[in-house]
Structure 1
Amino acid sequence: MDPRLAQVVERLSVGSGRVCFLLDHEYRLAWVSPELRGFLGVGDDAPLGIGRHIAALGLESAWRDAVTPESRLRLAREIVLPWLGTDELPPDAREALPAEFAELFAGVEPVAPPPVRTGSIDYVQPGLPPFPIDFVAASLRDQTGELIGTMVLMYLDLRPSLVALLGRGDAAMYERMARLIHPERRATAILFADLQASGELSRTLPTAAYFGLIRELTTSFDALVAEHGGIVGKHAGDGWTAFVLAQDVGGPSAAVAGCIEIAQRLRAHAAAGSLNLPAEPVLQINSGVHWGPGVYLGQLVPGGRLEVTALGDEVNECARIQQCARGGALLASKQALELLDSPDAQHLGLDPSHLTYHPLAAMDTATEKTRRDAGTVAVAPIPRW
């Protein structure tokens, strides 16, 4: 690589998050940022076509499959054609051009490219509709004005105010969610939590105060889940779910311990009486913790948001466990508690060998649906901290 271009690579490599690539002075692919490699799902140079001319990059599956056919033609027509004619193409690029591209290039006279070019592509993610990604291509020149390469920076067309909202979230959790793009079975600790008597609270408190209460509890829940290496599931008004994957925290024991600690700290926060309400009501968070050795977990991207959802018997059973909890109780299943190793159990103040379990079907709070769907699941109450 040209040493001058290598200096650009060094500067672009500082920090993370830049989705970009560099072309050399002959418009051959010279470098692809790690973030763009991850975006394309490619780690090696060979599938990317390092060293190939930009006009022929569309033949590499890593690039070809990432954009729609219409995008490829638009790029050739709007970006490449205005500053590269057929005579300017090296033989390998000219011979590799698809027929529809070759026809576009035929007889085109090259012109000097402007310093900055802009455009957009329609990115294709398997199983999802395409979405637009913008880019800016800028010529790179040395002190004498000699062209040393071109930088192409890709970005989403989002206002800074929207990016700021995204930045308020937990980056590590976003990374964990991003890894779940392909749904599959995973060993997971499951947590369901719910605010007891929320309907009565909503009628008792002013609407603004009740909204503030739910927002405060939701914010606290999300922060606790992020702190313990988990992933926030669906929020349904006054209810919350979370998943702590064993692979993310070092094993089943840590995953179960994380869910229990999240529930303990959330109910302690709710009971602390520090939520600035007009009249402090008695707030009780009922929670259930369960274990699923093969929960089917993955991203759900309906268009307006990104969320992770889980399917499986254990997920439904955890919901039934939580529904049986009353008075701010935390119930954990036998399957979950018996996974705790000694250090995690001691940290939680538990001795699993001395716990007493009860099947959900024997509990007074069990509904007919609970008895039918999860009646044999055995649970034990977890004392408050």
Structure 2
Amino acid sequence: MIILFGLGIELSPAHDIYTGPLLVAMPALASLTMGPKGTLSAAAGALAVSLTTTTLHEAWGGMLIYSNLLGLLVVSVASVITSKTVRARRQSELDQVRRVAVAAQRVLLRPVPARLGPVRAASMYLAAETGAQIGGDLYEAVQTRYGVRMIVGDVRGKGLPAVGLASAVLSAFREAVHYEDDLVEVVNHCAAALHRERAAPGAVDQDEREDQAEDFVTVLVAQVPDGFEVQVVNRGHPAPLLLRQGEVHALMPSSPLPPLGLDDFITGLPAKAESFPFAPGDRLLLHTDGVMEARNSDREFFALAEAMAAVPTCTPPQFLEQLHRALIRHTGGHLADDAAMLVVERLDEEAGNKQAAQLLPPEVTDRIDLPDTS
């Protein structure tokens, strides 16, 4: 743009204005934001303007012209070298940040095991921002003495504060699931951890703290016990979808509850886990709103239930991959929000009991009565 501005001056009646210093500075300015190729292009453009205007105005022979060209050459060479160095340093820093993000994701959003007692499982996380690894969505599935316990959640907020809240909720869940027999108490531990994280001094700066005070977390906690049922506590989260014999059913709560962080809005009796049938062969999909609210170019939502019903018989990881492909086709590859999915498939009782006995340590299995399947 500046090169064109200089060319306009040289070709206008105001060509007496000397634009040499302006053109000499172009490669240096380009090196701040462009790579070596962009810097060379800027240098070539400045050189072309200098040669063109010098020829048009028949200004060859003056010492000032040769000084201008020499200065342009020196600045161009220095700018290309500088752009290479800066680009290499920025790439190294970016690679380091990505390695840290990958390591953080493995801790915060680790893939769930393929087999957990009476279920087969798979998980998937899709970041909306290019190059991002983690965000405000969370999920986990854990084998406990009470059954398989799962959580899916979504933090209202973005950036590092959202990651901090998600980490606090997940940490509380991973601890509480092993000693709290009541699923509601597990959720209460998550709510308490969220409150402590928002109130912790020094976690974020003042501006972020004011924003974080208004943040909340929608969560859905589910449990698959030994029987053919699934127990659910839903705190403001999208309802899980149950796929049974080609038909999809939403497990809607009978009494909607507010998300974690908005506990002042709870009135009446305390929440109780709700039970739904979960027979062998059924698949349960826990997901965040980034999946169901994904839009196409016509602003139409992604038909998640129809996409689930259209997936042919396959393993849970293949099932999620098919949903991922359908989601990418629908959005054209551009997600507006992070998306997380966790699917579990109920096995028959014999297979589930054998798998539970293999996965749990002896000190736990000694306290659980498994039916004799011999």
Q: TM-score normalized by structure 1?
A: 0.27
Q: If each structure's strand is expressed as a fraction of its own residues, which one has the higher value?
A: 1
Q: TM-score normalized by structure 2?
A: 0.28
| Larger of the two Rg values belongs to structure | 2
Q: Which has the higher contact order (CA 8 A, sep 6+)?
A: 2
